[in-house]
Structure 1
Amino acid sequence: MKRKVLAMAMAAVMALGLGACGEAASSSTAGSAASESKSSSQSAASASSSASSASGTSSASGSSSSAGSDSGAKAGTGEILSTGPNGETATPATELSLTDEEIEEIKAGGYTAAISFHYGGNDWSTAQRQGLEDTFKKLGIEVVAVTDADFAPEQQVADLETIMAKKPDVLVSIPTDATSTADAYQRVADAGTKIVFMDNVPAGFKAGENYVSCVSADNYGNGVIAAQLLGEKLGGKGKIGIIFYDVDFFVTNQRLEAFEKTIAEEYPDIEVVSKMGFTDEGACDVVADAMITQHPEVEAIFCHWDIPCEGAMSALRAAGRDDIYLSTIDLGNNVAKEIALGNIVGLGAQLPYDQGVAEATLAAYSLLGKDAPDYVAVPAKRVDQVNVLEAYTDVYHIDPPDWLVTAAEEGKK
């Protein structure tokens, strides 16, 4: 009972910008508020026009927009299927550019920037920060502060106050909570600092008025990919379960909608026999154990992002159920290894480094007075055992580490 109470108390805090969506390096052990219901049913952005130029979720909205019924065939092709927090059509990050003259103008400005994360201790934040800092460096923009709210809205409000004392020209940030941080972000905007958001925007904010633009992954497209991976693995027929984030949050809503719609429309002979929610990503082993106990007929499970998938895998291993397939979203290091080994079918990946490049480029747009699109997205990427090494490089912009190469070699045996 204490575990459930703790989990419910954490629910508001967990309504974070889930572009990071659980690629957290550490997670809580508080229990999950699991509930079951039956159901039938990120290429790199260019910061310039030449190789020598600068290089790299919203509870305000709640519901997500549907893509067309033919969207499944397009996932992973580079076409953006998601819409923005306020229903905006996405501009691909690859369409952003700066001329050499614009870059020189930015360099001459002596500008400063700050970065405020909802949580900084995960693979997604690390890669996104790298994309931001690399691009700001090439633009001659000094980063004067980087903060980590550790999922706490009140800490982020304090962080924003600290940042404002440094008077940065631009702020790139992901709100921990769209409502409780809105006033703090408005104070930042009122002080004249230009804001570019990651994934999530504060309640009541409008692009071009309160902020410059919002950059996100194609979360709808990633949900489509996760569904197609399981559909293909099952040969279009079987019984599956869904472990989902049971909080009304924009980007995770998009993922879930896309997954369920794709299964229903593309794989009508696949039945969702169990759908269980969580509020604590660190307790998804408990959720998965309950699912396979109540529904031993489950043949595959979709998990909302990588950390819940790790928990589900732990439960399946403890139960000796290596016959159940898994798919998820977000290429964290742990799931990358499991995909390479063949223990996870695959996932839809974000491109956080590219997101960071796009955000820094949009910050430059604002300093130049250049018109910026309201909503920018990087494409979804399909990752499976065949392309996991290539995908790792695409996501993190580094060579695959030795441990991943070794795992891939072992997975081929």
Structure 2
Amino acid sequence: MKKALELLLCASLMVGLLAGCGGNSKPTEQQPDEGGSTTAAKVAYLTPSLDVPFWRYVRHGVEDELAKSDIECVTYDSKDDANTQMSNAQDAITKQVDAIIISPTDSASCVSVLSLAEEAGVPVVICDIGTDSGEYVAFISTDNEAGGKAIGEYIASQLESGTEVAQITLNQARINGVLRKDGFDAGIATNGLVDVDFKQMEKVNRSEGETFAQDLITAHPNLGAIFCHSEDPTMGAVSALEAAGREDVLVAAFDCSPEIVDAIRDGRVAGTSAQQPVLMGRYSAQAVVDCLAGNEVEKEITLDTLLVTKDNIDEVYDTLVEVALTDE
């Protein structure tokens, strides 16, 4: 754990990135317009949904890091709709942004946005989720499979071999959702747990978590645990289990929020694999800054998750606030 914390803190202090978006030097703070005057560089951040706390944490990292270089950031909320995200991309390009940071609504639809930006000559950095194909400057992501495996192993250690478990997953059209599911299955296999069912979310909100948890415990009355792929739906699942009086079902999470922290402390959530969304946003912004300056940019950066349980919550809390829980 000490080593993990040291890696997290070292990562947060990194200033530059290496290898990828080289070319002629281009100022990041001001650029000449057609009349010869200078205007501040502008970047668009296309986020899936600001209703989801995770994306607000990413936004904070993006906007705060760009501000350090006096770069204006315009954030577009795509309302979890691929068509809206495409329209947002078109609007941003029409308004002549200098670069785009995108957290795709899904991996398939991201391809069209990348194609549009490439045609317009606008560099794109992808922050989380990933794309099925296309050209981009950098991809900043989480090791979702390893994170899923870590929380799966923890749940496996808390239950007897052969116990049935289920998942409330991200849409499996998202690469990160597939990796979390596969990782969790690998983790629970270490003690012979059985994944009997999963439900795919579309809106990734509390209501979905509550509804799907109710469905799962009804269909599978012997469930020993439910793994939910996102923080807000996790709390919906907690509510459903409490209403049903199912204190015997463990809840495992991915991502973090103040509510998740409180729920881990009081035992309503067994643990979570916490991503580092603030840090992901900062890395994405730094990739843009380096690209616009003509510096080389590392093509892919993968950040670890931090396993958080009732046994280590006090030890890791300060780090969580720094890399995962700051949205303003």
The TM-score bracket by the shorter chain reads 0.7 to 0.9
Pairing 1:117–2:8 present: no
Distance 1:193 1:291 in 2: 45
Q: In 2, distance between residues paired with 1:399 and 1:352?
A: 5
**Letter paired with 1:313:** V
Alpha-carbon distance in structure 1 between the residues aligned to 2:30 and 2:215:
60
Q: Per the alignment, in what secondary structure is the counterpart of residue 347 of structure 1?
A: strand
Higher relative contact order (CA 8 A, sep 6+): 1
1:343 corresponds in structure 2 to 268
Q: Identify which of 71, 74, 81 aligns with 1:141.
A: 71
Identity %: 23
1:184 CA drift (Å): 3.9
For the residue of structure 1 that corresponds to 2:273, the secondary structure is strand
* Residue 202 (structure 1) shift: 4.4
Residue among 188, 195, 199 paired with 2:124: 195
- 1:302-330 Cα distance to aligned partner (Å, 9 max, x none): 22222332232222212211122111101
Q: What 5-or-longer segments of structure 2 have no aligned partner?
A: 1-6, 20-25, 32-39
Cα distance per residue 1:87-136 (max 9 Å; x no partner): xxxxxxxx669xxxxxx964466432121111122221111111112211
1:66-85 correspondence to structure 2 within 5 Å: none
Specify the code of the residue in structure 2 equivalent to 1:168: V
Residue 271 (structure 1) aligned with residue 199 (structure 2): no
CA drift of 1:244 comes to: 3.3
Instruction: Output the CA distance in 2 between the equivalents of 1:146 and 1:318.
Output: 38
**Per-residue Cα deviation, 1:152-209 (whole angstroms, up to 9, x for no partner):** 122222212221232121111122244445334322222222110112444430xxxx
1:288 and 2:210 correspond: no
**Residues 233/271 of structure 1: CA separation in 2 closer, same or farther (3 Å cut):** same
For 1:48, the aligned partner's letter is: V
RMSD: 2.9
Pick from 82, 85, 88 the counterpart of residue 156 of structure 1: 85
**Which residue in 2 is equivalent to 1:48?**
15
Contact 2:141 2:280 in 1 (8 A): yes
Report whether the alignment pairs 1:131 with 2:61. yes
Cα distance change of structure 1 residues 178 and 398 upon mapping to structure 2, 3 Å threshold: closer
Contiguous gaps of at least 5 residues in structure 1: 1-41, 50-94, 98-103, 402-413
The Cα of 1:389 is off from its aligned counterpart by 4.9
- CA offsets 1:335-391 (integer angstroms, 9 cap, x no match): 222112111110101100000111011112212333323221111111112333554
- Which secondary structure state, in structure 1, belongs to the residue aligned with residue 163 of structure 2? strand
User: What is the TM-score when the length of structure 2 is the normalising length?
Assistant: 0.81
Provide closer, same or farther for how the CA distance between residues 397 and 159 of structure 1 changes in structure 2, counting only shifts above 3 A: same
Answering whether residue 161 of structure 2 is matched by residue 237 of structure 1, we say yes
How far does residue 238 in structure 1 lie from its aligned partner after superposition? 4.9
Q: Which moved more, 1:124-133 or 1:306-315?
A: 306-315
Are the counterparts in 2 of residues 178 and 202 from structure 1 also a CA contact under 8 Å?
yes
1:214 and 2:144 correspond: no
The answer on whether the counterparts of 2:48 and 2:104 sit within 8 Å (CA) in structure 1 is: yes
**Taking structure 1 as reference, are residues 288 and 146 closer, same or farther at Cα in structure 2, changes over 3 Å only?**
closer
TM-score under structure 1 length normalisation = 0.65
